[in-house]
A and B are shown apart, each in its own frame.
Chain A
Amino acid sequence: MDKTPNTTPRQSSTFDDYTLSEIRRAAATGIYDIRGGGAKRKLPHFDDLLFLGASMSRYPLEGYREKCTTNVVLGTRYAKKPITLDIPITIAGMSFGSLSGPAKESLGRGASMAGTSTTTGDGGMTEEERGHSKTLVYQYLPSRYGMNPDDLRRADAVEMVVGQGAKPGGGGMLLGQKISDRVASMRNLPAGIDQRSACRHPDWTGPDDLEIKILELREITDWQIPVFVKVGGARPYYDVALAVKSGADVIVLDGMQGGTAATQEVFIEHVGQPTLACIRPAVQALQDLGMHRKVQLIISGGIRNGADVAKALALGADAVSIGTAALVAIGDNDPRWAEEYEALGSAAGCYDDWHEGQDPAGITTQDPELMKRLDPEIAGRRLANYLNVLTLEAQTIARACGKNNIHNLEPEDLCALTVEAAAMAGVPLAGTQWVPGQQTYT
């Protein structure tokens, strides 16, 4: 008699390889997984949108010949000195401490070459960054590490951080191995100990307090510089409305693909909303208050290419901000360090244990030997190149849609590939006039 055939071994979709490995890791260590970066799961994103391009009803502009402007002015509501950027792509806040000094210098060099701004992050303002950033935004965080009035007065804008997309409602943790003497000194803490960055500010809670806190910052800076308010992608309509009410000049809205230096994996993957889902409610809030384009909106979280930039702008943003992509541009997760990533139990392209301070690329580390691997001049040039490509790509799309200003892109230029993306972006499903959640156009 023939042997009974075996069925092919089948792995559970629910208990897949990653899930099993995480259960085993948790059981072995008793500690939740901490990592850097943003959400890694597949999410509705800008790839689910398409531009329609010009056709009979709209005519395109000639690439490389007809002008398509990209500059943006941030902080026009109250600041005496708004920021003017050549391109609508800024560098997001990333802390010195999490990043090395050469990494901060690289970001400053690259951003300045491309005509845009950088942002400090937790841990204070370094000379590397101020010295090489033509336009520098100084973050005002719950921890207040390194916060001082002298640096505040030499900043080009101040960014009140309420939350970030990777962990709306969460603080941070910089583990002891990255707390060098210099990092510790800037934060007024002993070297080598874990440093907790608080999840909420020590001296205000809620929008009514925030309005007074912003007033204080304006008084300290004589109303010269713009005040940004950064929120994570939690309740974008109400968060944006309350930020406007509190007196923000600029609102930075960070979706869940936005990175962090370190937090719990469960936080990154399970709290907050995708970037795509955040934009239209935020723009709607600004429009309902009559403040769209008066209070500028910066979108961040998963911006990778010029198409993403163009799509964010078309949905109503004034600018976008990049963090993860900027780090990749200067050398993070580069295949040239593949063997060393593998020695750390990871792989080039996957490495996210930034909190451990052993980054072979010399970016997310305070190890003097590893830091030497990053040449800020070369890395800065790479970032500038990348920013230029993003801009050229976004211009290419804008011209194809017949726009002589990148900010003239609009939702009507878009359609969606999935029902979910159509609902989130508020644009029609491709091939239909159907926008889920909205009355059918007839």
Chain B
Amino acid sequence: MQIDITDGEIRNLNQQLHAQPADSTTKCEVLNPNGAHAIAVGLNAPLNVSINGSTGYYCAGMNKHANVEVHGSVGPGAAENMMSGSLTVHGDASQYAGASGHGGLLNIKGNASSRCGISMKGINIVVHGNIGHMSAFMAQSGNLVVLGDAGDALGDSLYEARLYVRGNVKSLGADCIEKPMKEEHLTELTELLKQAGADATADQFKRYGSARELYHFNIDNASAY
């Protein structure tokens, strides 16, 4: 099906997508998104949604099962709280991409702005370009893969998320440290790069994770903040 949202009316679009059966793999082409917010949010079936243009805030928010593709750039909070499925962005992503995502793959072919992967809870994020400052802030679990460079304070107050960066890291945030790449990490990263169609090999990356020194409140760590 093909839905034109020239007038910015997304209610009809989301309603039609929500009305699809739970096992539907229907293909839907969204025309003229023109930066509208909340496009293709709350999907709950393995739909294939292709958006021809750039979107506003929260594209594919809380997605479950669906594969959403944006032929343009996405505004803040793309794939926020995604549970499964995927969001592929052929352009750039604004702030908070993949925020609090629980699962699925967020594949950004361009760059991602600040706080990419903030509070992530199991989502896999692959950014083919660079990411901004404070990315993976308080990231809990999942993987953030960056083929380019990372900005300031990467992984600040990190929990158990794994961060892989091929380029330079401007600075690491509190309690984030470089960690050795072991076989399990190389295997995991190779699979993620393959899924994302990335032109890179796992051995080109460095891994960053939590030093786990802030896991229990200790007054002697107060200066870390």
A213 and B140 form a contact (CB under 8 A): no
B18/A190 in contact, CB under 8 A: no
Set B14, B80, B118, B121: member contacting A188, Cβ < 8 A: B121
Q: What's the least CB distance linking B134 to chain A, in Å? A: 10
Seen from chain A, the residues whose Cβ lies within 8 Å of a Cβ on chain B are: 29-31, 143-144, 147-150, 152-153, 173, 175-176, 187-190, 193-194, 196, 198, 202-204, 209, 212-213, 215-216, 219-223
Q: Please, how many angstroms separate the alpha-carbon atoms of A189 and B141 in the complex? A: 8
Inter-chain contact B160/A144, CB cutoff 8 Å:
no
Instruction: Please tell me if the beta carbons of B217 and A222 are within 8 angstroms of each other in the complex.
Output: no
Q: Which residues of B contact A (CB under 8 A)?
A: 10-11, 14-15, 18, 37-38, 41-42, 44, 56-58, 61-62, 64, 76-77, 80-81, 83, 95-96, 99-100, 102, 115, 118-119, 121-122, 137-138, 140-141, 157, 159-160, 215-217, 219
Q: Is A149 touching B62 in the complex (CB atoms < 8 A)?
A: yes
- Of A149, A175, A189, A213, the residue contacting B217 (CB under 8 A) is A175
Q: A194-B215, A212-B57 are in contact. Are A204 and B77 (CB under 8 A)?
A: yes
Given contacts A144-B121, A194-B217, contact A220 B102 (CB under 8 A): no
Contact A203 B217 (CB under 8 A): no
- Given A203-B99, A212-B37, A212-B56, 16 more A-B residue pairs with CB atoms under 8 Å apart are A29-B219, A31-B217, A31-B219, A144-B81, A148-B62, A148-B102, A173-B217, A175-B217, A187-B140, A188-B102, A190-B215, A193-B159, A196-B138, A202-B115, A213-B77, A222-B18
Closest B residue to A190 by beta carbon equals B160
Q: How far is the CA of A222 from the CA of B10 in the complex (A)?
A: 11
* CB-CB nearest 7 A-B residue pairs: A220-B42, A203-B77, A188-B121, A144-B100, A203-B96, A203-B99, A193-B215
Known contacts A148-B83, A149-B62, A193-B216, A216 near B96 by CB under 8 Å: no
* A189 in contact with B140 given A202-B96, A212-B38, A212-B57 (CB within 8 Å): yes
Chain A residue with minimal CB distance to B40? A219
Interface centre among A30, A213, A216, by most chain B C-beta atoms within 10 angstroms, is A216
Known: A144-B81, A148-B81. A216 touches B58 (CB 8 A): yes
Q: Which residues of the partner chain B approach A215 to less than 8 Å between Cβ atoms?
A: 37-38
Q: Tell me, in angstroms, the Cα distance from A385 to B41 when the chains sit together.
A: 42
Cα(A198)–Cα(B122), bound, Å: 18
Cβ of B115: which chain A residues have Cβ within 8 Å of it?
Answer: 202
A144-B121, A149-B42, A194-B216 known; A203-B37 Cβ under 8 A = no
Contact B41 A216 (CB under 8 A): yes
Kindly report which residue of chain A lies nearest to residue B118, judged by CB atoms.
Answer: A202
Chain A to chain B contacts (Cβ below 8 Å), 26 pairs: A31-B217, A144-B81, A144-B99, A148-B62, A148-B83, A149-B62, A188-B102, A190-B215, A193-B215, A202-B80, A202-B96, A202-B99, A203-B80, A203-B99, A209-B57, A209-B76, A212-B37, A212-B57, A213-B58, A213-B77, A215-B38, A216-B58, A220-B14, A221-B42, A222-B14, A222-B15
Secondary structure call for the B interface: loop
Closest chain-A Cβ to B172's Cβ sits at a distance in Å of 19
Residue on B nearest A221 in the bound complex, by CB: B42
| B225 to A: closest C-beta gap in Å | 11
Shortest B78–chain A CB gap in Å is: 9
For A221, list chain B residues within 8 Å (CB): 42
With A and B bound together, what is the CA distance between A149 and B62 in angstroms?
6
Contact: B96 with A176, CB < 8 Å?
no
Indicate if the CB atoms of B99 and A149 lie closer than 8 Å: no
Contact A216 B219 (CB under 8 A): no
Query: Which residues of chain A are near B77, meaning CB under 8 Å?
Result: 203-204, 213
What separation, in Å, do the CA atoms of A68 and B9 have in the docked complex?
A: 44
Q: Min CB distance, A198 to chain B, in Å?
A: 7
In the complex, what residue of chain A is closest to B56 when comparing beta carbons? A212
* Complex Cα spacing A42 to B121, Å: 42
Q: Say yes or no: B76 contacts A203, CB within 8 Å.
A: yes
Measured in the bound complex, the distance between the Cα atoms of B102 and A143 in whole Å is: 13
Contact residues in B for A173 (Cβ distance below 8 Å): 217
Contact A198 B119 (CB under 8 A): yes
